[in-house]
């Protein structure tokens, strides 16, 4: 048995092709057994966790882990990686809760086999184990009670687009829930009668497909949270003094909006002085509302711009308005599909654009070779005219390592940091971070991020990005080891 914590660096042996942890979460103050799915080589592994609170042990059987969650562990999602000489696993999300949790119990694939849930609130860790799988859960509701059923699957990186169906005591379908701000469903239902109700969990694949078959495999894990009472959806807070939409808005200003009626369009006036600019941002998905906003900007009667997604990584509407007049512009905001209701909120923010930069990196795992340069490319993502020279600082790397490219010239769009590994540099897998700042006295510092969002992503994950990168320094094989491998 091997126990490794968790926070910081380790030198380690093994590679896993794991794709999921099941269950994908647990309660503070408990110890649980967890399956790391996939094929494993050179068991046991060592581990890394993005923050304190978890201790992980590899059990004797390949793929079996024991996770101890500290009583004072901070609730919420954390990243977990399995590490070894042959490589580093993908980043898994493990969710820490302060609520008692239970496991889905098979067989529960049919209404007659529904798993009984004795009390609500309940938090169930489940898995759709194969194609065609579906899970049923049964519980008692009183007439007038409101059930909130919220599922996290896609947001845990599961390859599923899940649906929730609620059935009455006779087995007739009452309501269905699908997507919210991402592919995960949230069902809210008020019981019309006393009796045993059944909740069905099913899914299709999260990737675009013509297949209508129910999806499932060993990696299709989910967490299902059941509670009573109508969930509250407070409107988004305004960053500035909130202004009435009937008045002309100035820069800066912000306000909270809601679509109460289907196909509603909200109209605002904003004054942006001639020769200046304003960044107009309509936030909804980033605030975890299902609203899909469309922004239209008018100069008088003329449509200047219609925008839905500000860029590839942002599903919210945004636009940089460069003003050519002192006459107020007109903003029109609508829900793309005409949806409305108490959850269809948004926040409109109008701010003066300030020069900034948001450094990102395409790869989180980098493999070095002895006494050869490893080039790490960083996209600086300069915005709003940012041109300042920058400097790079590395943290977490072992010594000795020679780093070059730490000074970035002004107006550079992409930086390259080169690392040269010395023969005495410790071998293994090393978590590290890259920090970039301006060079003047009051400079602010940004840590380079690696996004988990891809062109196939369809909404937010519980963790969308990480600042932790990895340097893999493989052990140099001896002549004897190389000869043995050839044989």
Beta bridge partner(s), residue 208: none
Buried b / exposed e across 290-310, counting CB within 10 Å, b at 16+? bbbbbbbbbbeeeeeeebeeb
Q: In whole angstroms, what is the distance from residue 94 CA to residue 30 CA? A: 14
Q: In whole angstroms, what is the distance from residue 36 CA to residue 62 CA? A: 9
> CB atoms < 10 A from the CB of 485, how many?
8
Q: In whole angstroms, what is the distance from residue 104 CA to residue 52 CA? A: 28
Q: What percent of the chain has pLDDT over 70?
A: 91
pLDDT tens, position by position, 335-347: 999 999 988 999 9
pLDDT tens, position by position, 258-281: 999 999 999 999 999 999 999 999
Q: Could you tell me which CATH number the domain at 103-228 has?
A: 2.60.120.380
Which of 402, 378, 388, 390 is closest to 469 using CA atoms?
A: 378
- Check whether domain 356-473 has CATH 2.40.50, yes or no: no
pLDDT tens, position by position, 397-447: 999 999 999 999 999 999 999 999 999 999 999 999 999 999 988 888 999
Asked if residues 162 and 153 have their Cβ atoms less than 8 Å apart, the reply is: yes
Q: Could you tell me which CATH number the domain at 2-97 has?
A: 2.60.40.10
**pLDDT at residue 485 above 70?**
no
- Per domain, the residue ranges of the chain are 2-97, 103-228, 248-351, 356-473
pTM of the entire predicted model: 0.89
Preceding omega of 44 cis (within 30 degrees of 0): yes
pLDDT of 315 reads: 80
Which of 151, 159, 170, 152 is closest to 220 using CA atoms?
A: 159
Instruction: Please determine whether the domains at 2-97 and 248-351 fall in the same fold group of CATH.
Output: no
Q: In whole angstroms, what is the distance from residue 263 CA to residue 21 CA? A: 42
Output the CA–CA distances (angstroms, integers) from residue 60 to 42, 63, 124, in the order listed.
12, 9, 27
May I ask the CATH class of domain 248-351? mainly beta
Q: What would the DSSP string read from start to end of 330-397?
A: EEEEEETT---STT-EEEEEEE----EE--B-S-SEEE--BTSEEEEEEE--EETT----EEEEEES-
pLDDT of 370 reads: 86
Rounded to the nearest integer, the mean pLDDT of the chain is 90
Mean pLDDT calculated for residue range 156-178: 97
């Amino acid at each position: 048995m091997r126990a490794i914590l968790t926070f910081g660096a380790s030198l380690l042996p093994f590679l896993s092709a794991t794709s999921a942890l099941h269950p994908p979460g647990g309660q503070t103050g408990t110890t649980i057994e967890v399956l790391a799915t996939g094929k494993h080589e050179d068991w046991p592994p060592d581990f890394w966790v993005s923050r304190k609170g978890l201790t992980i042990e590899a059990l004797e059987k390949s793929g079996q882990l024991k996770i101890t969650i500290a009583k004072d562990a901070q609730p919420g999602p954390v990243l977990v990686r399995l590490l070894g000489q042959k490589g580093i696993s993908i980043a898994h999300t493990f969710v820490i809760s302060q609520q008692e949790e239970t496991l889905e119990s098979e067989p529960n694939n049919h209404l007659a086999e529904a798993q009984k849930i004795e009390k609500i609130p309940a938090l169930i860790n489940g898995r759709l184990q194969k194609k065609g799988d579906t899970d049923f859960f049964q519980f008692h509701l009183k007439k007038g009670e409101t059930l909130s059923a919220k599922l996290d699957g896609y947001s845990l990186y599961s390859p599923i687009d899940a649906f929730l169906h609620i059935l009455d005591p006779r087995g007739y379908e009452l309501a269905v829930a699908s997507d919210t701000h991402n592919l995960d469903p949230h069902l809210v239902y008020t019981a019309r009668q006393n009796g045993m109700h059944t909740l069905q969990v099913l899914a299709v694949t999260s990737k675009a497909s013509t297949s209508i078959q129910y999806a499932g495999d060993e990696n299709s894990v989910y967490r299902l949270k059941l509670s009573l009472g109508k969930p509250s959806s407070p409107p988004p807070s305004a960053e500035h003094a909130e202004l009435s939409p009937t008045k002309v808005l100035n820069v800066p200003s912000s306000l909270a909006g809601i679509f109460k009626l289907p196909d509603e369009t909200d109209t605002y006036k904003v004054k942006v002085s001639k020769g200046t600019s304003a960044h107009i941002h309509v936030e909804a998905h980033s605030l975890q509302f299902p609203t899909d906003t469309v922004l239209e900007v008018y100069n008088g009667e003329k449509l200047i711009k219609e925008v839905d997604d500000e860029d590839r990584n942002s599903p919210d509407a945004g636009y940089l308005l460069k003003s050519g007049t002192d006459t107020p512009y007109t903003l029109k905001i609508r829900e793309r599909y005409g949806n409305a209701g108490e959850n269809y909120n948004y926040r409109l923010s109008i701010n003066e654009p300030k020069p900034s930069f948001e450094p990102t990196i395409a790869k989180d795992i980098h493999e070095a070779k002895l006494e050869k340069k490893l080039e790490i490319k960083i996209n600086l993502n300069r915005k709003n005219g940012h041109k300042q020279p920058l400097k790079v600082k590395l943290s977490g790397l072992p010594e000795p390592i020679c780093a070059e490219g730490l000074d970035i010239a002004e107006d550079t769009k992409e930086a390259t940091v080169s690392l040269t590994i010395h023969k005495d540099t410790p071998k293994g897998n090393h978590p590290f971070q890259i920090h970039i700042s301006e060079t003047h006295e009051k400079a602010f510092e940004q840590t380079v991020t690696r996004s988990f969002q891809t062109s196939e992503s369809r909404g937010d994950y519980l963790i969308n990005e990480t600042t932790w990168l990895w340097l893999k320094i493989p052990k140099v094989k001896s002549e004897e080891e190389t000869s043995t491998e050839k044989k």
